[in-house]
Structures are given as C-alpha cells and as structure tokens.
Structure 1
Amino acid sequence: MFHFDRRLLQHFDWVMLLMVLLVGGMALINLYSSTHIPDHGASSVFFKQLLFFCTGLLIMMVILSQEYQKVAKFGYVLYGIILLLLMYTLMFTKAIAGSQRWIDLGFFNLQPSEPAKLALILVLASCYSNLDVPNGYRLRDLIRPGLLVACPFVLIAKQPDLGTALICVIVFVSLTLFMRLRWSTLAILSTTAMGCVFVGWKFLLKEYQRKRIETFLNPEADIMNHGYQIMQSKIAVGSGKIFGKGFLEGTQGHLQFLPERHTDFAFAVWAEEWGFAGSVFFLSCYFFMVAWGINVAMSAKDKCGAILAFGCSMLIFWQAVINLCMIMGFLPVVGVPLPMFSYGGSSLLTNMAALGLIMSVRMRSFPAAATSP
C-alpha cells in the first residue's frame, strides 16, 4: 500500500528555495550583462545557463524528494562512475588551453571534476556515519577516507586542475574536523601538511602554478602578463564605489579589459555595476544560504544527515571564499568558480544537487508525520 509522507509539504524548505532563486536570479542578471551583445541583446551563453538553472531546479526537486540515506548509499556507485570519467578525460579527450577537463557530449561539455566533489561528500558521509569512534578519530581511522579523497585528487591534479583538486582536500579536512579528531592525530596531520606544502612547492608545482603564486605576492611586477587579471579585477571592484555604474554600464567588463568576466571573475562585474551596496546585498543572501545549510547540519536527526548537510555547505562556502579572495587579490588565481554565480553547467548542476541534499536533510529532521493511504 502506498503511503504519502506529508513532511514533503509540511516541512518543505522554503527558505533555502528562496535563497536559491535570489542568488540564481542575480547570477543570471550578471551573466546577461557580462555577455551582452550590443544591438542584439542576450547571448547564447546566457540562454545555456538559463537552461542549466532550470534543469538544476528539477534535479534539486528530485533529490529532495528522496531519503538522503538512500542517496548516500548511491554515492559509491556515483564515485566509481566519476573516477572512470576522470580517467577517460586524461586518456581520450583533447586538451583545451593546456588542460584535459571536459568531455564533449554534443549538447554540452561535461566537466567530471565538478560532480566528483559531490560524490566525494556522499562516500565520506557513508564512511564516517558507519565509523563510530567515541574518543575521536585516530590516524588509522582516516586511512579509508584518505584513500577515497586521494583517488580523485590525483586524477584531477593531473588534468591539471589544482584548484578543484585542492577543493576536494579542503572539503575532506572540513568534514574530518567536524567529526572530531584526537589531539595527537591533529598534530601529526598538521606537521605532515606543512611538509607537503614544502615538497609540493619544490617538486610538484608546475612553473605556471608557481608564477601564479609569485604574481599574487607581487602583481605589479608582471602587470601586463600574469598580474593583469588581478589588477583588472581590483580596478573593476573598486570602480563600482557605493552604488555602482549601473546595469550594462560597467566599463571593465564591456570594454573587455577584465578577462574571464563571466566565469572566474563574474563577481567583479557585479561589484562594478552594482557597487558596494549591491555587493553587500548579494553576499548577505549568499552567505545566509550557506549559514542555513550549516544550521540544517546542526539540527539533523542522524549522523549521516549532519555530515551531508555540513559537507555540502562547506563545498559551497570554501569555493566562494577562494573565488572572492582571488577576485580581490587576497589569493592567487587558481580557477575556482563562484558557485551558483559563475558560468558553467557542470558546476551549477553539481551545486544545485548539493543544495537539494541539504533541503532533503532539513525536511526529514522533524518527527514523522501522519500518513494517509
């Protein structure tokens, strides 16, 4: 006999849906401006992203209608599929701008490294929720989670896409700290991390990656080459002043001084056109959405739900922080998009699926509702 769970209606997460629509709406307005074609209007890029956003809403609704425990169990299947796709990109796809990141599906280019981040959260949630260590995790307890993050990290770093690979590590670290470590384990991992930074700088980073870090430390030293992006981004943000130059009136973006204005540097276009006031409004909506996700994690009814909601919130939070700091010159340019805001179908669909998981956890954090046949 079929039973309808009334929680789907009684406890629907209208707050998160409102934030998604607000942030998504501002993102589409910004994309229209940054890719606007004079005398023609909206570009094909805008219509593609609008289609991705509508598809993302559908995916979000499908995911929130499912029990999140079942979705987490599917994580290992998705994780395996993503690893195969990552290996496929390295072996069979053509390099674009020196990187092998996309699989041409005809109707759109799939970037497997984006859903890899969500798949990693799903498998870590399954792993940690089944691992109960009352006094905190020991080093040996982290071997399996460490291997789960190491596989996609290596494959993504070889594309090369160091920014996305580091996001996987940061999400893993955030979730591991959320689960509580022993002090001895934390000390060992901190020391190891510092050693890895030294080894990575000395032997693993490519020349262009070192150059990006050196440019971050002193962008004026190479203003016409690697420092150009940072300088133009800072000019765009600063020139917006209090209330901005107005919609479609930004000079840095429309005169094409600002590179990657619809992808990595999308927020610089928003800051120039809407100013400090518009930026504060956007960031308030954006980080309220993240804070709401963390609140969902704190009130989840079980360990799996808490890990999923926290992991998805951290996925969006850390990408946003890195992108915004990059735009304002506080971090080197690493190619991390602003979730829900930068152009990109794979990124948008992945982040909206993550938000759907958060909504699913919240809707099922309440006592069981009465059912009817």
Structure 2
Amino acid sequence: MILEKRLLARDRGVGLLNKFWQVPWLFVLLVTTIAGVGYVALYSAGGGAPEPYASKHAIRFGFGLVLMLSIAMIDIKLIAKLSWLGYLGGIGMLVLVLLVGNVGKGAQRWIDVGPIQLQPSELMKIMLVLGLAAYFHRASWERMGNILFLIPAGIMILIPVGLILKQPNLGTALITGLVGTAVLWAAGVRWWKFAALAVCIGIAAPIAYEHLHDYQRARITTFLDPESDPLGAGYNIIQSKIALGSGGLWGKGFLQGTQGHLNFLPEKQTDFIFTMLAEEFGLVGALSVLALMLMVVAFCFMVAFRSRHQFGRLLAIGLGTNFFLYVFVNVAMVTGSIPVGGVPLPLISHGGSAMLTTMLGFGLLLSAHIHRDAELGVTKD
C-alpha cells in the first residue's frame, strides 16, 4: 500500500514536471517583454522614477506570472467542470458592485478585495468565455442550427453586458458583447443569425443613443468634431494627436516627451500610455509594440487550431479576441478613430484588475495548449 502511494506520488510529480516542460517558454518571454515595455513606459510616466507606477507594475506582473504558470498546470478537464461556477461567480461579483461597489469618476465599477481594488467587469470577460466554451464544447452542427439551443447562450451574454452597462461602463460592455459574439461565431452559429442581429442593433442604435449618459454622448460628439470644444471635451484627444504626431519616425527619446512630461497628455499612465510610447519612441517604437501584441493574438489562434477538443478551441479564440479588442480599442481610441472609452492597453497600462485578468486568461490559454490532446467527451447529437 505504501509502495503504491509512493508510485502514485512519483507519477503525479512526473506528470507535473512534464507539463512544466511543455510550457511554451517563448510565449512566456513574449509576455514578459511586453510587460517590460510597460515598465519602461510607466517609469517615464512617473517622471523618470519607479514610483508611483512602474514598481507596482513590476510587482503585479510578478504575481501574475506565478498565477499564469500555476493555472497552466491545472488539468483542462477540471477547468471545464468549474467553468459554470466561474461564470456564476462573475455574475455575482457584478451584482455586488452595483450594491456595495466603490464610486469613482461618476461610475460604480470597483470592489475592495483585501488590499486591492478589483474591477469585476474585466474578470467577467474571461468568465464569459469559460461559460460559453463549456456550453458549446460538445454541441453538434445540427444543434447549433436550433434557435432554441442558442437562446441560453444569448442570455449568458446579455446578463453581464446589462450589468456592466448599469455601472455605467459602455466600452467594457461593448467588448464583452463582442467577445461573446466571437465565441458564438467560432462555435458554428449560422452567419445569417449574425446578419439579423446586426440589423436589429442598427434599428435600436438611435434609441440607445437617447438613453446614454450625458458624458457618453459628449464622447461621441467629441469624436466627430474634437475641435468644437478644444479646452473641454475635445482636449484629451487633441493632445493625444499632438503627442502622436510630434514623435515622428524615431521619437523624441526616452524621458524626452514634452506632451507627457509637461502634463499636457491626460491619463498618460493608463488610457493614453500608447501615446506616450509613440511620442518618445516614434512610429517605429509604436509599431514594434503592436507587432508584439499581434504575436500574442497569433499564439492564441495557434492554440485554437491545434486543440483536439472544442472547449480548448473556443477558449483560445475567446481569449485571443478579448486581447485583440483590448489593444484595438485602446489604440483606436487614442488615435481618434473611435470615441474615448477608458480601455487600458494590456500588460502596459497602470492598473491591477487589467493585469490580473490578462494573466489569468493567459494561464487558461497555456492550460489549453498543454492539454490540447485531452479527451473531454463526445459531441452531442
């Protein structure tokens, strides 16, 4: 009996060691490199000092790295079984925010979890991907054509989107809805259903606009004509464009950005961190950062293509879409391509919730990669 326990413990140890060696360390290096860029940017945003932004960024990334590798070791079967619990937990946290959440800048988005403030809407995007992947991972092509089978999935998306809109947080709500839609598309929902949904959204858009908060409507007006209020609502985006243009091809140099260091650039440590990078390192530096981000998205879809089970495919596609939308919305926002919406640049912007959820998502992604050949059950008829 004792010998059997020792052999079982040894087998588990070998299994864990084997998983450890299967970790794609080039991807870990890629993530670390992007976080390193974030440290450099936040060091500059702090006036050439590690405080108050860069040091916290390094600590958060260190914790996130341990979290990512720990989750990567968890069997994907266990993750699939706990996905519903994670989804329901995310919904519960969104409800808790509305009841006892902290209010900041006119929005109720954060709750205190020990020494940190957590933004559950960021976490909910990951939990939504898990819930939808668990719902669809054994669904057959015939079942995907049944509208009644898709109604629960639609409700799963609408509930968190509605709760996030109540905070209010329009940008995150839209990203959450798009992430859920990407999982539906990857699961095999027919294209004409998306076309019908797009028509409905187009019809409802004018009505929805009338129910937006005043500051949200102001963002749209400012996006269309930022010069109409250059010292008010249009100030942020005008200063952002000035900083982007002044960087030129090679930039002004590290710690030499005038817009950022003379405090013309708003929220330079969070929403507009990409602008600060572009001013100091130019177009070449900005495109290099985007190239690193694109590599992360490419790895997500590579994991999806190599996974032998639907759960891993949907999980990787959902996580890759979420990361892409993070980057796309932030960059489009600071370049004036879309209205400003308060979306951080992952692994670079200052913020604990975004870092935590990004690294959590990467941990799930690595687990899907390591367990890509796992047997998760047969397809339902």
Q: What TM-score does the superposition give when structure 1 sets the normalisation length?
A: 0.93
Q: Measure the CA separation in 2 of the matches of 1:46 and 1:322.
A: 23
Is the aligned partner of 1:33 residue 2:44? yes
Q: What amino acid maps onto 1:205 in structure 2? A: L
Q: Counterpart of 1:281?
A: 288
Is this contact kept in 2: 1:135–1:182, CA < 8 A?
A: no
1:312 corresponds, among 307, 310, 319, to 319
Distance in 1 (alpha carbons) for counterparts of 2:266 and 2:256: 17
| Partner Cα separation in structure 2 for residue 103 and residue 9 of structure 1 | 34
1:292-318 Cα distance to aligned partner (Å, 9 max, x none): 111111111110000111111111001
Q: 2:164 aligns with which of 148, 156, 170?
A: 156
CA distance in 2 between partners of 1:174 and 1:335 (Å): 22
Q: Deviations over 1:13-38 (max 9, x none)?
A: 1221111011111011111111236x
- Gapped regions of structure 1 (runs ≥ 5): 369-373
Distance in 1 of aligned mates of 2:81 and 2:167: 28
Q: Does residue 198 in structure 1 map to residue 206 in structure 2?
A: yes
Quote how far apart the aligned CAs of 1:269 are. 0.5
Asked if structure 1 preserves the Cα contact closer than 8 Å seen for 2:98 and 2:167, the reply is yes
Q: Show structure 2 runs of 5+ residues with no match.
A: 1-7, 376-381
Q: State whether residues 215 and 226 of structure 1, in contact with CA within 8 Å, keep that contact through their aligned partners in structure 2.
A: yes
- Is 1:14 aligned to residue 22 of structure 2? no
Report the equivalent of 1:91. Answer: 99
Offset from partner CA, 1:308-354 (integer Å, 9 cap, x none): 11111111001110110011110000111111111110111101111
Residue 73 (structure 2) aligns with: 65
**Alpha carbons 2:87, 2:127 under 8 Å: kept:** yes
Worse-superposed segment, 146-155 or 261-270 = 146-155
Structure-2 residue corresponding to 1:340: 347
From 224, 233, 240, the equivalent of 2:231 is 224
Residues 363/187 of structure 1: CA separation in 2 closer, same or farther (3 Å cut)? same
Contact 1:153-1:166 at 8 Å conserved across structures = yes
Verify the 8 A CA contact 2:257 2:280 in the aligned structure 1. yes
Output the CA distance in 2 between the equivalents of 1:66 and 1:106: 25
Q: Is the 8 A contact 2:118 2:353 kept in 1?
A: yes
Note the alpha carbon deviations across 1:151-194, whole angstroms, 9 max, x for none: 21111111111111111101011111112222442332222222
Assess if the C-alpha contact under 8 Å between 1:16 and 1:359 holds in 2.
no
- Partners of 2:191 and 2:279 in 1: CA distance: 46
| CA distance in 1 between partners of 2:274 and 2:370 (Å) | 32
Q: Which moved more, 1:74-83 or 1:204-213?
A: 74-83
Q: 1:94 to 1:363 in 2, by over 3 A?
A: closer
**Separation in 2, partners of 1:241, 1:209:** 32
- Is 1:69–1:304's contact at 8 Å kept on the other side of the alignment? no
Sort the Cα spacing of 1:176 and 1:232 in 2 relative to 1 into closer, same or farther, 3 A. Answer: same
Counterpart of 1:121 (choices 129, 154, 158) is 129
- Taking the aligned partners of 1:289 and 1:321, their CA distance within structure 2 comes to 13
Q: Percent identity?
A: 36
What secondary structure sits across from 1:109 in the alignment? strand
Q: Match of 2:359?
A: 352
CA contact (8 A) 1:262 1:343 kept: yes
CA-to-aligned-CA distance 1:14-70 (integer Å, 9 cap, x gap)? 221111011111011111111236xxx221332222111111001101110012232
Contact 1:139 1:185 in 2 (8 A): no
- 1:148 Cα deviation (Å)? 1.1
Within 1, Cα distance between the matches of 2:204 and 2:56? 40
Cα RMSD over matched residues? Answer: 1.8
SS at match of 1:101: strand
Alignment partner, residue 250 of structure 2 = 243
Q: Secondary structure at the match of 2:278?
A: helix
The verdict on how the C-alpha distance between 1:241 and 1:124 changes in structure 2, with shifts beyond 3 A counting, is same
Q: Distance in 2 between matches of 1:184 and 1:270?
A: 42
Q: Is the contact between residue 22 and residue 370 of structure 2 (CA under 8 Å) also seen in structure 1?
A: yes
Q: Identify the residue that residue 371 of structure 1 maps to in structure 2.
A: none
Deviations 1:236-290 (A, max 9, x none): 1111111111111111111110111010111001001111111121111111111
Task: Give the alignment of 1:296-307 within 5 angstroms.
Answer: 296-307=303-314
- TM-superposed CA distance for 1:221, in Å, is 0.9
Equivalent residue in structure 1 for 2:51, among 39, 43, 48 = 43
Deviation at 1:10? 4.2
The question of whether the paired residues in 2 share the 8 Å contact of 1:7 and 1:363 is answered with: no
User: Relative to structure 1, is the Cα distance of residues 142 and 261 closer, same or farther in structure 2, using a 3 angstrom cutoff?
Assistant: same
Confirm or deny: 8 A CA contact 2:83 2:127 kept in the other structure.
Answer: yes
TM-superposed deviation, 1:136:
4.4
Shift of 1:95: 1.8
Contact 2:40 2:54 in 1 (8 A): no
TM-score normalized with structure 2 length = 0.91
Number of matched pairs: 364
Query: Pick from 294, 302, 306: which aligns with 1:295?
Result: 302
